[in-house]
Amino acid sequence: MSKHSIQINSIYCNDTSESGHDEVYLICQADGGIPIRVPYGINTSHSMSNDDNNPWVLDNLILNFEYEVLVTLWDEDLSYDPNLATYLQSNDFQSGSGSGSIQLTNRNGADYTISYQYID
């Protein structure tokens, strides 16, 4: 039933939600369906800091959706318990075209930029 596709190219950390690094992972949920975790696997994350000056380049992360896909950024605080994860921010992608980036911030200091490209 998917009609649209968007590729998440990279995530850049402008600032973290805590001192040091955020252990970032994404939960991507298309049309309220099964939530998919990125990086792939259980208890996996990508360590990020503005000091690293190094974007998280996502390898072929293509999200297919009919109406929307909600991408949520989390900071994993205790690897085995998502109940203790810190919500960073989220963005809901609907149909569109071209490419772009969106900056997501919260009052804990988290500041991330998601770069994306619509495929169809």
Partner 1 sequence: MNDTLNTQIANYAGAYQSMPPQNASQPATLPALSDQEQQVFNEAQSAWETFSNSEKGKADLQAISSMDVPEAKQAVAEILNSSAFAKLIQLLNSLDLPASSFSFGITMELELIIGIEAVIGVAIGIGDSKGVSSSEFLTVGLTEGIDEGALIGVQFGLWKNAPSDLGGYSWSSELDLGLGAEAEVGISYTASGGILGATLTIGGGEEDGADEEESYTFILGNQGGDGYLKPVYQPRKNNFLIITSMKCDSTQSDGAGNANEVYFTFQADGDTLYHYPTYDYFSMQSGDTWNCGRSVWFNNTVQVNVYDEDDTSGDDSIGNFTINLSDLTLGQTKTFNSTIDYSTTFDTVKYTINVKLVAQNVQ
Map tokens 């495929």 to a residue.
Answer: 119
> Residues 23, 45: contact at Cβ < 8 Å?
yes
Task: Dig out the tokens for 1 from the structure.
Answer: 């039933």
Question: Which of 14, 32, 97, 103 is close enough to bind partner 1 by CB under 8 A?
Answer: 32
103 in contact with partner 1 (CB under 8 A): no
Residues 49-78 that bind partner 1 (CB under 8 A): 67-68, 70, 72, 74
- CA dihedral 77→79→82→84, nearest 10 degrees, is -30
100 in contact with partner 1 (CB under 8 A): no
Which chain residues interact with partner 1 by CB under 8 A?
27, 29, 31-38, 40-43, 67-68, 70, 72, 74, 79-87, 89-92, 94, 106-108
